[in-house]
A and B are shown apart, each in its own frame.
Chain A
């Protein structure tokens, strides 16, 4: 059975802190790993990772994948209160099936 595990489950930091969110996976026929940010409603897309060792960056957010060790990290630097959300990691298989982790709830205090 495909499995995606995110850690920590929740995290409380202060504005300006840097956070690292983890996502490890065990799936058959891995195709890609996606990170999403979910606030009140639907998840919004952050990154898609398919190759090991290539960092993807968007502003203060960055992510990297390690296909040998089967994990990915999402980094957020200089956090802001607007970064407070649930961050979801999903793995897509070659068959197109998606498996989501339980998410990490990030709270950024002013």
Chain B
């Protein structure tokens, strides 16, 4: 099956620093990647949709300058949490849609990255 790798799986940083999270599709090319945030015991909240070679589309209420998304290739998207604060602590998950099945809607998820901001 399609594999999506996310790195790092766990990061602790000081308030005010920036953190980059990578999402890679290992055995397929992804036309679109999605970034979600998940709070404890809650569902996945879509933050933004990332298309290769174009600007990300952010959901309402998500700060573009705070959560920078870059989708430089068909296999890599990055999420940078800039000037992180304790309230940014959360579980961030990416998913990818295969170039081979863009219309099916099937999403392949990364393992997630747990961010803790001190």
Instruction: Determine the distance from Cα of A11 to Cα of B109 in the docked complex, in whole angstroms.
Output: 25
Chain B residue total in the interface (Cβ 8 A): 28
Which residue on A lies nearest to B93, using beta carbons?
Answer: A42
The answer to whether A34 and B106 touch across the interface, beta carbons within 8 angstroms, is yes
Residues of A in contact, count (CB < 8 Å): 23
Check B97 for interface membership: any CB of A closer than 8 A.
Answer: yes
**Interface mask (B79-105 → A, CB under 8 Å = 1, otherwise 0):** 000000000000001010100001111
Contact B105 A32 (CB under 8 A): yes
Question: For A105, what are the chain B residues with a Cβ–Cβ distance below 8 Å?
Answer: 41
Whole-angstrom distance between the alpha carbons of A98 and B33 in the complex? 11
Closest A residue by C-beta to B106: A48
B104 touches A32 (CB 8 A): yes
In the complex, which residue of chain A has the Cβ closest to the Cβ of B101? A48
User: Quick check: B112 and A97 within 8 Å, CB to CB?
Assistant: no
A81 at the interface (CB under 8 A from B): no
Question: Which A residues have a C-beta under 8 Å from some C-beta of B?
Answer: 31-32, 34, 36, 41-45, 48, 50, 88, 90, 92, 96-103, 105
